Structure formats: structure tokens, C-alpha cells
Chains A and B, each alone.
Chain A
Amino acid sequence: MTNDNKNTDINKNHKKFLHEENKIRKVEAPDGSIITVDPLNDYFLTDRPQVREPKNKVVEKFLNWARAESLWVLGFGTGCGSIEIPPLVTPRFDAYRFGVQMRPTPRQSNVFIISGYLAVKTLKRVIRTYEQMQGPKYVLALGSCTINGGMYWDSYNTINRLDHFIPVDVYVAGCMPRPEALLAGFMKLKERIKAGRAEGANEYAEKFDWYKENQKKIINDWNMPDYNW
């Protein structure tokens, strides 16, 4: 890997923050032999994310239509904007009409709504969750906090620009945007997917080093693998 040298310093700095259960340790097996366990290498895949190019134009257009009409949203609320999600799926706004469904697990979700300001502590969970989602995956950023920090722009504990950390497909401006705005954001996302421009997962894989550098600058206690499969 070409980036190893570049990231060595960052990685070294973060070694000391490893949790106890992630450190290399010796374990006694039931038969009495001593085994060395390196959790970060043994329990997690060390591969980097791969770019998956769309292959056939006609087929991909059809599949993009299917992906756009079946948006599964991860139920993950990061800031005050998450209060706008329940009205979205209940009778008043009823997003189910547009093929938008809530899913409880990142494995089954395609759309990640970052609903408002991101504390550094939450950013770590967001990165972890985003990386566990299966591509193609889309990010919908809600509220002015994700664009430039909004009313938290000089806060000591929140990030300002979300797209420095994960690729964002659609921004919905406002503080807070109402559910109508969120629905309009979903429509915009659908247009983007159908036009084949929503390639956030590939962008993340291409600029992986840049994203990791930004993430590690903010997150001091980095105690997880570099890529969370």
C-alpha cells in the first residue's frame, strides 16, 4: 500500500488509545498452549475498501432506478434533526409512499441521514456505521450544522464540514429543516441516483487516505480498525 508511510505517524499516535480488548495479548487455550491474539488483525479484515465501477451503462441505469425507488434509511439520529424523522414516516408526511423505509441496522441500509450537528464522539460512531453499510450507499446531510457548523461553528466539540469526513450526496439546508424539506431532499437524492452521480461509496474508496487523515485529525482516541467492514 502506498499510503503506509504517510499514515505511520498518525497510526503510531493512535496506538496508545487502543482499548484493552484490542491490544495484543497472550491467551491460554483450553489445552494449555499459549496463543498470541492480535484483535485488530485477527478479528477484523485489514483490506481497504475497493472501487466498484458500474459496468454496463444500460443495466446500471435500470439498477439505479431500482436503487432510487427503494431507499432504506438507517435509524440513527445524531443531532436535534433526528426529531424530524418520526413525523416523516408517520401519517402526516408518510415517506413510505416514495419508497423510503426505515431500517434498524447499517448492514441493510443504503441512506444515512446525518441529522444535525456532529459531536466528535458521534463522528466516530458515524464513520464506523457508514463503513459497515453496503454499497452503493448515500448520505443525506440535514441542517446547516453539517454544511458549515451552523450555530456550533466555533464549538470546541463539534465538526464543521461533514464532507471532509464522509462523502455527502445531498445537503438539506435549514435550522432545522422541516420534514417537507427532507422529503424534497429525498427527491433530489433520487434524481442524483437515477442520473448515476451518487457514487459516494466509490469516492470514499478512491480518496480513502484523505478521508482517514481528516478523521484521525479530529478523533484523538482512535481505537478501531482503519476500515470497519
Chain B
Amino acid sequence: MDIVIKLFYVFLGLFIVLNWGMLMSATMSKIVARVAGRYGIPFYQPWINLLKLYTLRDSITHGVMFYLGPIFRMSGGVGIFLFMPMIFGSAYFSNFSFAGDLVLILYFQFFGMLGMALGASEGGHPYSTIGVSRGLSQFTTIELPMTLAVISLAIQYNTLSITDIVAAQQGGLMHWTLFTNPVATIAAMLSLLGAFGHSPFNLVKAPNEIPIGPPTEYHSAFLGVLRTNAAILHVVEAVLFMNLFFGGAGSWIELIIKSFFIYFWSVFVGVVFPRFRIEQSVQWFLKIPLLFGVIAIIIYM
């Protein structure tokens, strides 16, 4: 019976995360529109888009991997959610977090991208392949500073459990990793810019350049699954950084406020800076963020 109640709360959490993710993406589009001097989309637009995508009358396939691509991507996003403690101290909204969940979540971040690479290649469009190769090479360099920051945290708190890391940050603002380990926080927050894929690092989808990158051939329900996953993934990635560096969340309200500002950080940078080319992006991640990552390790050696 316990597992049924647990599953109920997991699905409830997923439902909240999905809807918050869509509202958040709509809010961010509105912010970007206001920066450009436009009025922007209505806040309910993502739901309508999703409804329309799932109910298109036609959809064609390019093969088995074309089906599996979005599924892999989705399992990457939902996988991170399943092992992420959302609310600190809540038995139900801790999902299936366990002693080594941090390593598993780092793995899941890459899993979705690999699945998508296989699926997008099956579509056969040259722009998909270009987008995928860019995405994989960029994400490899993003992973370096991010992983170094995470290892620094693991040495600092002597644990690989996210719940323990959050627990160690309780007791006031000055206990947050942001203040106890600022170097690792800088390295991770710089790599977060790449993980969210906003403007300086949006060369994977690169609108107007390689039309839309990996999902060029994806349409109807396939695209619906990808968009659902994007909404979930944005929130859980923000929650991961919230848990690691900003003291976690004691309630859904706190989670919503903190994840909003973490996501806003990447949008804020995005509206200010224009797009990098792939070699600029890779070199950028291998310079300053990597340097901060290495320093964060050396401090705790």
C-alpha cells in the first residue's frame, strides 16, 4: 500500500512540475518579448500548443529510432525527476532519492541527449545531424565544470546524496553553498547557462541558422513529447541547482520562487548576449568555467 501512496505523490509532483515548467517558459517568453518591445504570447499558450500537437490528425514516421528518440529524451527528464528530492523534509515529495542519487542524475542529463541523437539522425535531415553534433560537443564541455563543481561539493559535504547536501545547508542564508563554496557555485552557474540552452549557447537549435536543429523532422505527438519533456527538464534542472547551491526548498512556494530565479539567470544572460558559434562556445566553457571548477577542487584537496 505504501508504494501506491508513494506513486500517487510522485505523479502529483510530476503534474505540478510539468505545469510549473510550462507557466515558467511562457513567463520567460513574455519577459524576452518585453525586452524586445513586444507584448508577447498569452501565458496559456504552451498548453494550447501542446494540446494541438498531441491531436494533429496526421503523423508520419521515419523508422523505429524516430519513435524512440523522444521516448529516450522523455525518460531522461522524468528520470531526473524520479530521483530528485523536490521538497526537503517531505517524505512524499522526496521521490525515490537515495544515497548516490547525485551520480545517477548527472548520468541522466546525458542519457536524453544520446537518445535524441539517435532519433534525430533517423529523421535523415542534415540540419538534425548538425544540431546533434553541436549539442553533444557542447554538452561534453558543459559537463566538465559542472562535474568538477559537483565533486567539490561531494568532498566538502562528504556525501553523494542530494538530501544530505540540502540538509547540510539548513540553518540560514549563510549556510548555503553559495556562501560556503562560492567558487564551485560560480563554475556550476556558468555551466548552467549552457545546460538551459539560452541565447549565447543556443546553437543546438539555432533558430534562423540551422532551422531548428535536432527536432527538424519531429512533428505532432513526437514534438509534443519533446515539449512536455522540455517543461519538466527546465524545472528539475533548476531544482538540482537549487538543491546543490541555494539551500533547497521547504515548500512548493519556495521551490517555485527559487527555480524561477535560477531559470531567469539564463534568460537574463540570453537577452543580453548574442549567439556564440560552436568553437567559441566550446572554448568559452574550457576557459573560465573550467578554471573555476579546477580551483573549486584544489581548495578542498
The answer to whether A and B assemble together is: yes
Judge if B140 is at the interface, Cβ distance under 8 Å: no
Q: Is the CB of A108 within 8 A of B218?
A: yes
Please judge, given known A-B contacts A66-B48, A66-B55, A201-B58, whether A97 and B223 are in contact too, CB under 8 Å: no
Give the CA-CA distance A94 to B215 in the complex, in Å: 25
Q: Is the CB of B39 within 8 A of A105?
A: no
Looking at the assembled complex, report how far the CB atom of A190 sits from the nearest CB atom of chain B, in whole angstroms.
12
Give the CA-CA distance A67 to B220 in the complex, in Å: 12
State which residues 169-224 of A face B: CB under 8 Å: 201
Q: Is the CB of B39 within 8 A of A94?
A: yes
**Closest 9 pairs between A and B when the two form their complex, measured CB to CB:** A104-B211, A107-B219, A91-B37, A134-B58, A52-B57, A135-B58, A70-B52, A66-B51, A94-B38
Secondary structure of the A contact surface, majority rule: loop
Judge if B257 is at the interface, Cβ distance under 8 Å: no
Residue of A nearest to B210 (CB): A104
Q: Is the CB of B220 within 8 A of A134?
A: yes
Judge if A225 is at the interface, Cβ distance under 8 Å: no
* Contacting residue for A108 out of B36, B48, B55, B219, CB 8 A: B219
Contact-size category for B:
20 to 34
Give the CA-CA distance A63 to B48 in the complex, in Å: 9
Residue of A nearest to B216 (CB): A105
Q: Which of B216, B219, B223 has the most CB of A within 10 A?
A: B219
Q: Is the CB of A96 within 8 A of B33?
A: yes
* Contacting residue for A99 out of B37, B48, B55, B56, CB 8 A: B48
Give A residues with C-beta under 8 Å from B: 45, 52, 63, 66-67, 69-70, 90-91, 94, 96-97, 99, 101, 103-105, 107-108, 110, 134-136, 201, 229
Q: Which of B37, B41, B217 has the most CB of A within 10 A?
A: B41
Give the CA-CA distance A201 to B207 in the complex, in Å: 27
Residue of B nearest to A62 (CB): B51
Give the CA-CA distance A38 to B218 in the complex, in Å: 26
Please judge, given known A-B contacts A107-B218, A108-B219, A134-B220, whether A96 and B38 are in contact too, CB under 8 Å: yes
A-B contact count (CB 8 A): 76
Please judge, given known A-B contacts A90-B38, A97-B41, A136-B57, whether A67 and B218 are in contact too, CB under 8 Å: no
* Contacting residue for A107 out of B37, B38, B41, B216, CB 8 A: B216
Looking at the assembled complex, report how far the CB atom of A74 sits from the nearest CB atom of chain B, in whole angstroms.
10
Q: A69-B48, A97-B41 are in contact. List 14 more A-B contacts (CB 8 A).
A: A63-B55, A66-B52, A66-B55, A70-B45, A70-B49, A96-B40, A96-B41, A104-B212, A104-B216, A107-B219, A108-B215, A108-B223, A134-B219, A201-B57
A/B interface sample: 26 pairs, CB < 8 A: A52-B57, A52-B58, A63-B51, A63-B52, A66-B48, A66-B55, A69-B48, A70-B48, A70-B51, A70-B52, A91-B36, A94-B38, A94-B39, A94-B40, A96-B40, A96-B41, A97-B40, A103-B212, A104-B216, A105-B211, A105-B212, A105-B216, A134-B59, A134-B219, A135-B56, A201-B57
